[in-house]
Amino acid sequence: MEIAPDARMGLVELSVSDLDRSLAYWQDAIGLRVLSREDGTAELGVDTPLLRFVEEPGVRPADGFTGLFHVALLVPDRPSLGRFLAHAAREQIPLEGLSDHDVSEAIYLRDPDRHGIEVYADRPREQWEGQVWERMTTIPLDAASLLAEAGEDGFDGLPERTTVGHVHLRVRDVDETIRFYRDTLGMGLTAQLGDTAAFLSAGGYHHHIGGNTWETRGAEPAPEGTARLLRFTIALPDEAEVERVAERIGGTEVRDPSGNPLVLRAA
């Protein structure tokens, strides 16, 4: 049975080693706002919460373990992405990469705890819907063209309607990841790179979930003491759909075969 076509990604929760440092980075470099803060935790977003941080002083980066590869923040249009790139260039914010995936254009960064971040904009859906497997690729981003879209407006943070577009995971095995997210959870497999990466979604989107073994084939989940993925949320249209999917996967809070923790919530 397929998951509801309007399922989407929700809040992503991460542990961080220094909450003040993380909030400064995600506000100043990424452009999110602090929506709430108390007792060593904080939620950030634009018009709705997108990320929740839990401070665990002294945790180290979770390199080599399964967990988060990146959290992807989807901005509403190409000019918004252009303004973000202009901001990054102006403030000399270190970037991990600039990629054109044909279905989308993306800017990659890494926060002080080495949590991966993607800020991206989709190309019009009618250009790629039903053709993701054939079209999704990675080529150099045309930064000049993107910057030309930015216009004269300055950067005042990520715009309203920014969402968590997808969550890309580090997994231990691609085949078992597909079996869980496609055969059990009910997403569609939209693209696959052999036994190294897979991309899955609800409703024909290019991907809501990515999973790769590029650094983590056969790896264990990130343990306590690391800055790790604490949970990510799949938002479903109503409680009835939550109950239907929860029955298939064994509850509303589960771990995938690589130990990545996910939560089902009604939107």
pLDDT tens, position by position, 108-142: 999 999 999 999 999 999 999 999 999 999 999 99
- Residue 201 has what pLDDT? 98
Percent of the chain past pLDDT 70, that is, above it, reads 100
Alpha helices by DSSP H, listed for 129-173, are 132-135, 143-148
Q: For all residues of the chain together, what is the average pLDDT? A: 97
Is the pTM higher than 0.95?
A: yes
pLDDT value at position 71?
A: 98
pLDDT of residue 153: 79
Mean pLDDT over 141-160 rounds to 93
What integer is the mean pLDDT of 141-157? Answer: 92
pLDDT at 22: 98
Cα angle 19, 21, 26; round to 5: 90
Would you say residue 1 lies in a domain?
A: no
Instruction: Please indicate, yes or no, if residue 2 is contained in any of the structural domains.
Output: no
- What is the number of domains present in the chain? 1
* Residue 89 within any structural domain of the chain: yes
Q: Record the tokens describing residue 188, joined without a space.
A: 């569609």
CATH number of the structural domain spanning residue 197: 3.10.180.10
pLDDT score at 17: 98
- Supply the pLDDT for residue 154: 86
**In-domain check, residue 3:** no
pLDDT digits (tens, 9 = 90+) for 44-100: 999 999 999 999 999 999 999 999 999 999 999 999 999 999 999 999 999 999 999
Task: Look at residue 240 and tell me if it is in a domain.
Answer: yes
Q: What is the pLDDT of residue 6?
A: 97
- Asked whether residue 162 is assigned to any structural domain, the reply reads yes
Q: Is the dihedral of CA 240, 14, 211, 70 positive or negative?
A: positive
219 DSSP assignment? P
Q: Rounded mean pLDDT of 192-204?
A: 98
Containing domain of residue 174, as a range? 8-266
DSSP state letter for 136: -
Q: Residue 184, by phi and psi: left (phi above 0), alpha (psi -120 to 50) or beta? A: alpha
Residue 239 inside a domain? The answer is yes
